[in-house]
Structure formats: C-alpha cells, structure tokens
Amino acid sequence: MQHRILNYLIAAVFVALIFLTIIFVTAILPATTFQPEATRQGAYKYTASEWRGREVYKREGCVYCHTQFVRYQDREMGEMVLAGDYVNQTPHLLGTERTGPDLSNIGGKYPDAWHWAHHMQPRAVKPGSLMPSFSYLKDDEMRDLIAYLQTLGRERELEARQRGMVPQQQTSSTKGKFKQTPQHTGTEEGAGKQTPITWLEAPQELRDEWKRISKNVDTNNSAIANSGRGIYMQNCAVCHGVTGRGNGPISSSMIKKPANLTRPFYQAYTDALFYWRVKEGVAGTRMPRWGRSLSEQQMAYLVAFIKTLPVDPSTPSGDVEVTKFSQLDQPTLMDGNYNEIERLSELHSASPYNPGGGRH
C-alpha cells in the first residue's frame, strides 16, 4: 500500500514539475527577459477618449473576432507589426481568430463617419458581414471606440513616411523618371494636398523574395524588358491588351474587367508589388497565379516590361476598343501597337518605348 502511494506521489511531482516548467518557459521567462525597444506605434500614449474606446473594445468582445497583428506571411493587411508595437499595451489585444478582418492598420483608412455607419448597420456598409450591430452603444461610447480604432496603425503609418515607404510617384514633370515624394509631410509637390498611405506594398514575405531576385535581374534594363515583352504577349495580352489598357480580346466577356495598367494609379506600384500580383494573382478576379507556370526570372522579366507601359489617364478601363485576336498573332499589326505605345508616351510626357524596351 505504501509503495502504491509513493508511486502516486512521484507521478504527481513529475506532473507538477512539467506544469511549472511550461508556465516558466511560456510566461515568466519571456516577461522577464524579452524587453523589445518601443517603436513609434508602441510608444504612443492614448488620450482619455482613446483609452475609454479601448475599454469599450474589450468589453464588447471585439477581440474575439478581430486580430491586431500582421504576420510575415499575411496578405492584404498592410505593414507587418513589430514586437515593439505592443510595449505599452497591457493587456494586449492581439486576438486569436479572424472571423473579421485584422485591424492592425485600420487607423486612417476610413473616416469617422464610415466607422459610425459600420457599427450601427454593418451590412449596409459591408454586405454579407457577420458583425453584429452596436447601435445600443451610447454616443459617447461610440465616439471613444472610433477614436481608439483610428489609432491602430496610425503611428506605424507616419513612421513609414519617414522611412520612405511611400511608393514612388510619377508625374509628367519627371519625364518618365520616378520621383520620390516628400515623406515627412505626406504631400505631393505642386499639389498641396495630403496623400495618405494605403499600404500599397507587397507583403514582407514577397518583398524579401523580390530583394533576392532583383540582385540578378535589373528591371530597368532594356534587354530584360524586351524579353518580358514576349512573355506579356503570350500570357497577358489576351486579357490586358497589347498596350496594357485592359482591352484584350476576352476582356469583353469578363464581368470584372482586367486592370488598365496605363492608369496613373499603377505608377505608384513598386517592383515588388508588381511581382506579388503577377505571382499570386488578384483575389476576386480572373487574374491567375502565374507563379505556378512561370519561373521567378520570367516573372521578373514581365515586371520589367510592365514598367515600360506609358501613363494614359485619358482612357479608363472599359472605354477603349477591344483588341482583336488577330492583333496578337500578326507581326505587322503588332508593330502598329508598339507605335501606339510610343505615341501615348509622347502624348503624356512619359519615357518613350524603344525596340529594346525599358525606361531611360
């Protein structure tokens, strides 16, 4: 009998040691040794209204459906978060499920009025949303909650401006050369208006991948752009058209039209962002994942050619004549399309397209 009790005691001691070890490794040790340096987002001090809004966020259980962390592999969620972003947040509100979208970079994305309408009648703003109505909140509570939401990612955005993460803009005055807009003010030269960041950038995982690829491929090289032209004509022109205006032969049968790559909007795309879209496609569209059929080098060549397409703000997608299939097959007609690219370049003061491709 005594031996049996002793066996139970030994087992209990082992179980207790395992439990205490887990607690020490996962809770006590990180709390005492992991002291990340506060980032600009982490060092931000909430106002009284914002702090009350954070309490409303916790009380209403928003953390059960929304996360507040963007991981290395995440897509369409904005800039990746850092450990220092959470230094002054106790308890943290990272969340564990994404029944709703991640809110790490929601601050400044929508105006206060949008948030108010969204919390009052979610499906009137986002059809199909699972979010319940919070119309029972008092006006002061709603204002505080919105004030808190507008802080999420706001300092991270401002820090990104200072690091030069605002995508490069192209204007007619630059004559085809990319020009960096002032980062500290967030304004565009000559415009005098705020140009908020919409996190127009590839996920960190794809940016690192592109950094590795770009060491061997110069997307500003004319010969590489010329190689990309052939890949474009074989795979992309059927949808986007030979001049990139979204008027390919099968575009007329698509409910969601192919992108018009000559719009000024796409001049803000970085090489990594183009590479991401080419490799993984665009959710909700007919754009395929070319990473399954093209090599990394081929996709880089394709990016080089897309960068040679001129800016043509006068022809939004769907307002141009649909390309015929014969234009994709007959070399003489293709020459006419290259002349069209050159004409648009001269018309809109963009860099000319030359037989070798590339921008100069």
Same domain, 149 and 177: no
Same domain, 145 and 176: no
Same domain, 192 and 322: yes
Q: Tell me the C-alpha distance between 29 and 287, whole Å.
A: 47
Q: Which domain holds residue 132?
A: 48-161
Return the CATH number at 93. Answer: 1.10.760.10
Sign of CA dihedral 36, 202, 226, 179: negative
Helices 271-280, 296-306: inter-axial angle, 10-degree rounding = 120
**Does some domain include residue 2?**
no
pLDDT tens string 145-165? 999 999 998 887 777 666 655
**Does some domain include residue 142?**
yes
Long-range (24+ apart) CB contacts under 8 A made by 268-271 are 268/167, 268/168, 268/169, 268/170, 268/200, 269/167, 269/200, 270/167, 270/168, 270/201, 270/202, 271/210, 271/214, 271/219, 271/303, 271/307
Same domain, 289 and 322: yes
Which amino acid, one-letter code, is at 265? Answer: F
Same domain, 290 and 264: yes
Same domain, 139 and 274: no
CA distances from 190 to 95, 169, 172, 181 (A): 43, 13, 12, 11
Q: Is the pLDDT of residue 40 over 70?
A: yes
What number of other Cβ atoms are within 10 A of residue 98's Cβ? 13
Same domain, 139 and 72: yes
**Does some domain include residue 147?**
yes
The count of domains in the chain is 2
**Does some domain include residue 326?**
yes
Most confident of 34-43, 121-130, 315-324: 121-130
The reported pLDDT for the residue numbered 232 is: 93
Same domain, 341 and 293: yes
pLDDT tens string 222-281? 889 989 999 999 999 999 988 888 888 888 888 888 989 988 888 778 899 999 999 999
- Cα 216 to the chain's mean position, in Å? 25
Strand, coil or helix: 311: coil
Same domain, 74 and 154: yes
pLDDT tens string 116-147? 999 999 998 888 889 999 999 999 999 999 99
Same domain, 226 and 312: yes
* Averaged pLDDT for residues 86-92: 82
The reported pLDDT for the residue numbered 310 is: 80
What tokens does 221 get? 């090289």
**Does some domain include residue 275?**
yes
